[in-house]
Structure 1
């Protein structure tokens, strides 16, 4: 349960939160802290209901909280705050009736590799409000943050094959580049294979070997082969994984890198978390108030 207020933004629990939580936790589609889309039901001509052998894909969950903004500039303003809050809680939050796709975790922290320190989510609310204020004249920049977070989250569905996870996480990296390019304005064109390194350099981050052009920029080559030739690791999509038997986890590192890019793009590029290692399962502390 979230109950906090910082600046003009406040979050409070709805009166029926206990019942809503119980309904979610008793769902037949819940497995290992992930809730999956329910089966698709359709009406028969005779008035009965038929269950199709596949899920609805887009689904809703009971509402648990209210978010309010004393100086709200419109629907997009609140929506942006909700996406930012989703990212910093590490779980998808939505105000829509059907805001989930395929599956979503019901526990916080499942979709990111950090733990909030300092004032926690209060700092996150302040950071998001500052970002909105700085970029209100370019509304596409708020939408790009939302797009990056959504692609990051979609890419972690436990049911994905690795090529699907790779494509979505790479898309999240591309979104981050689009936003970084708009904000940082590179002095010369950045080739596709050099995008990750350019962003890492811009934010003072170490560039992973798999994204370094000096080492071949493996991730860009994998992306081209996957998107343009329908091959992943030299095999038709779905029949191979990256780094098998080599103690490598490319998509884990891509997920961690996207998290760091989003934090940096939101304006907290000075915090230690942004420069922390991406090649580990370890969770890192994120203090947004740190210098």
Structure 2
């Protein structure tokens, strides 16, 4: 049996499933109030402090730059039992519990970069209640237990971690690039865990569509290859950015795409659906299209 403190979650969430339990810390209310009353909280986010610098013969003032990282207090405790103990499992279940709450949660002592979401639902387009979250954790536990290859577990956490981290970037081209990396991690994970997933060198243009086909997720139009093109709009945008430093037909940062303007946001939503389906979660959300702007329910089929 192992326990680890994590946060930041501004709700007294508690639950249990076969692998363990989650509960708020005894001083949860004080910890939450400390952040919510702080000057760095704005809207749904907590922003990093400015770093002090020395100038004018030793006078100190705030500089217009961010620190390398900043910490938020732990608000909850994760308790894992039996074969599910260990740092690797702790990191995975904390991150997954965070995703299911639409947050990026991490163990005590880890640092946040850029801004940190502090309101439930900021990093997702679904709503899951406590019962549905516990069900999802149960399904994920079965997936985790079935992986005897340590590399698969590491890849699983990596895809999850980067899907959440990617949403913290300020610019859409940064979020697109990082989210595509998470999609690539999901592709590699599918090759290792999904029966029928192609094992050879399949082009980037076909990967998103193939994942949707294998996992029974509606395929967005920007992931479909037209008859007269070797790329789909998704892979075309990715190739221009990675290989030519071009975005929307211009140098990075000088234009926003006129076609498929919501692709970056929709890609984020698609990666979430793909990742959860890879864990074995089949429900209303993972069967829905990623191109809607509405919040989807998380009820299980």
The two structures share one fold, judged by TM-score above 0.5: yes
In the alignment, the residues of structure 2 paired with residue 282 and residue 169 of structure 1 have an alpha-carbon distance, to the nearest angstrom, of 20
CA distance 1:182–1:43, change in 2 (3 Å):
farther
The equivalent residue for 1:131 is 143
Q: Distance in 1 between matches of 2:93 and 2:59?
A: 42
Deviates more, 1:62-71 or 1:114-123: 114-123
The aligned residue for residue 166 of structure 1 is 176
Structure 1 residues 247 and 237: alpha-carbon distance in aligned structure 2, compared to 1, 3 A threshold: closer
State the distance in 1 between where 2:220 and 2:179 align.
15
| Residue 18 (structure 1) aligns with | 29
> What is the RMSD computed on CA atoms of the aligned residues?
2.2
Partner of 2:132: 120
- Offset at residue 57 of structure 1 (A): 4.0
| C-alpha distance in 1 between matches for 2:201 and 2:172 | 31
Counterpart contact for 1:162–1:238, Cα < 8 Å:
no
User: Are 1:203 and 2:215 an aligned pair?
Assistant: yes
Is the Cα contact below 8 Å between 2:217 and 2:287 reproduced in 1? yes
Counterpart check, 1:92 vs 2:104: yes
Gaps of 5+ in 1: none
Counterpart CA distance in 2 for 1:24 and 1:42 is: 24
Task: Determine if contact 1:116/1:287 at 8 Å carries over to the other structure.
Answer: yes
Q: Tell me, yes or no, if structure 1 residue 2 matches structure 2 residue 13.
A: yes
Cα deviation, residue 22, structure 1: 0.9
Distance 1:98 1:194, change over 3 A: same
**Is the 2:284–2:296 contact (alpha carbons within 8 Å) kept by the matching residues of 1?**
no
> Who is 1:143 aligned against?
154
2:225 maps to which residue?
213
CA gap of 1:76–1:155, structure 2 versus 1, over 3 A, is: closer
Confirm whether residue 231 of structure 1 aligns to residue 243 of structure 2.
no
Equivalent of 1:103 in 106, 109, 115:
115
Structure 2: segments with no counterpart, 5+ residues: 1-11
Q: TM-score, normalised by structure 1?
A: 0.89
Task: Report the alpha carbon displacement of residue 96 of structure 1 after superposing the two structures with TM.
Answer: 3.4
Indicate conservation of the 8 Å contact 2:126/2:297, yes or no. Answer: yes
- How many Å separate the matches in 1 of 2:172 and 2:19? 42
Distance 1:199 1:247, change over 3 A: closer
Query: C-alpha separation between the residues in 2 aligned to 1:15 and 1:155?
Result: 32
Q: What count of residue pairs does the alignment treat as equivalent?
A: 283
